[in-house]
Structure 1
């Protein structure tokens, strides 16, 4: 199988797994949905549907590729032997899902030898599915995506997110306070994968956040890059838990500079 054939095969599986999980989550959400567990803090929650969706995704993919590895938010972890690893967030935006808000997504990425080559983000309540294959552009359904031309920095629309640890979110709020006077406005969706896809599709000029995990980033970062956005972390570094940033070219460097200056990459006091 050529690389192109393998990528196409992985994309087909990722799209179908995301479609099935999205249907389960959208149509099977119980009216009395509650918290099944917590993660980093009492307000960082897991629902029974997170667990069910991850099980559905890993089970489906394993039928076709039993030797692949997995890294999932809700515990799926195996190295595999094929060189392919699936990075899965069954519900990116679990608190939104718990409250019946529409901004949640299913995020599935495929890595080959550590490089993300396929990304799929399904946003069922929007009726939208995004995908990208490395070197082949980013798409929403049949429409090819392209990030927006860079506006003047003061006219940029920037999204961010807030973590669930008190010290971290306090710092994140302070960074946002410092940033807001310098831009058009700020948005907070609650799903990193959706925010990254919105940069790809021109609905945002930029997005940044501290504290993301590989499953939050993997698919959306590829989609943003394939749509022409620049992505990274702190200056000279890739996106990471310290800082993840995606922006249309022309905004990336000045925004990264400000985020570094404001201390967006740590949980202490921001700079002046």
Structure 2
């Protein structure tokens, strides 16, 4: 399953990489020429024709390699309620806004789950041409653009006040308002906060030590299915929603280096960051 996840994610990433210059003529407000972009949950939540194409690449390949397995994709959907057996959870472009604006931070995420638990996953950093991967119980790796493979481990940090946190924001006004209030509470208690625009890569950065922790409310399964496993296998303490949860439930996803996990949880409990943030 790990080999399949890596192969499928890398094939989709190649497609995304090749198609962006051909399709988009970006103008100052982040819109494209033609009909290449539409909106999803809100006007600020875009989907591009390349998102759809990338997911189709993944679905076509999985139909050949794993024809009996279920698929849950961000664009093509699937049965979220049925988690028994093997299910592939895919995000064809995680970081679509970055992709749309030409910010080189977006990824393809592919995970295999058994009975709702991620057992293998790959996250390809498309612009960097690097692949994060993990299988349950086997550790996590990063393969760079030159083909060099390194094992991933979280930072050995022990003090939250010196921690660099990654986060992201939802698309609804209600959720963003609540998330902004939490940021104002957290920012004075940590080293700093980063918002790069791809939850899958945020989780992988915890695994690689580029950040010390990640948290975000309202992520969908395709946002965290692969990245959470990669972070876990690199030693992170990870909290994810129950298998049947959806992004509308507003639960928090947290991944933290083990040396700060307890202290960060205490901080989040104090300010209410562990509580769901529901959309209205």
TM-score by length of structure 1 reads: 0.88
Task: Tell me what 1:102 maps to.
Answer: 104
3-state SS of 1:76 partner:
coil
Residue 188 of structure 2, aligned match among 172, 181, 204: 181
Residue 16 of structure 1, aligned match among 3, 7, 20: 7
Q: What is the CA distance between 1:78 and its match in structure 2?
A: 5.2
**What does 1:20-99 align with in structure 2 at a 5 Å threshold?**
20-29=11-20, 30-32=23-25, 33=32, 36-77=37-78, 83-99=85-101
Question: Relative to 1, partners in 2 of residues 1:239 and 1:132: Cα closer, same or farther, differing over 3 Å?
Answer: farther
**1:180-199 Cα distance to aligned partner (Å, 9 max, x none):** 11111100011000000000
Give structure 1 stretches of 5+ with no counterpart.
1-9
Q: Is 1:257 the equivalent of 2:266?
A: yes
TM-score by length of structure 2 reads: 0.86
Report the Cα distance in structure 1 between the residues aligned to 2:182 and 2:153, rounded to whole angstroms. Answer: 28
Q: What is the CA distance between 1:35 and its match in structure 2?
A: 5.2
Question: Relative to 1, partners in 2 of residues 1:39 and 1:131: Cα closer, same or farther, differing over 3 Å?
Answer: same
Give structure 2 stretches of 5+ with no counterpart.
26-31, 144-148
Q: What is the CA distance between 1:13 and its match in structure 2?
A: 1.5
Q: CA RMSD in A?
A: 2.2
Report the Cα distance in structure 2 between the residues aligned to 1:71 and 1:123, rounded to whole angstroms. Answer: 21
Report the Cα distance in structure 2 between the residues aligned to 1:53 and 1:194, rounded to whole angstroms. Answer: 18
Report the Cα distance in structure 1 between the residues aligned to 2:263 and 2:256, rounded to whole angstroms. Answer: 10
Q: What is the CA distance between 1:172 and its match in structure 2?
A: 0.7
Report the Cα distance in structure 1 between the residues aligned to 2:114 and 2:190, rounded to whole angstroms. Answer: 38
Task: Tell me what 1:121 maps to.
Answer: 123
Residue 146 of structure 1, aligned match among 153, 174, 177: 153
**1:232-260 Cα distance to aligned partner (Å, 9 max, x none):** 159xxx99841000000121122122223
Question: Relative to 1, partners in 2 of residues 1:81 and 1:164: Cα closer, same or farther, differing over 3 Å?
Answer: closer
**What does 1:144-223 align with in structure 2 at a 5 Å threshold?**
144-223=151-230
**1:139-164 Cα distance to aligned partner (Å, 9 max, x none):** 00221100000242211101110111
Residue 134 of structure 1, aligned match among 133, 136, 140: 136
CA contact (8 A) 1:67 1:81 kept: no
CA contact (8 A) 2:133 2:142 kept: yes
Q: Is 1:242 the equivalent of 2:251?
A: yes
3-state SS of 1:14 partner:
helix
Task: Tell me what 1:4 maps to.
Answer: none
**1:27-80 Cα distance to aligned partner (Å, 9 max, x none):** 111133465332221101111110000011011111122111000000231589
Task: Tell me what 1:227 maps to.
Answer: 234
Report the Cα distance in structure 1 between the residues aligned to 2:44 and 2:74, rounded to whole angstroms. Answer: 16
Say which is worse superposed, 74-83 or 108-117, in terms of deviation.
74-83
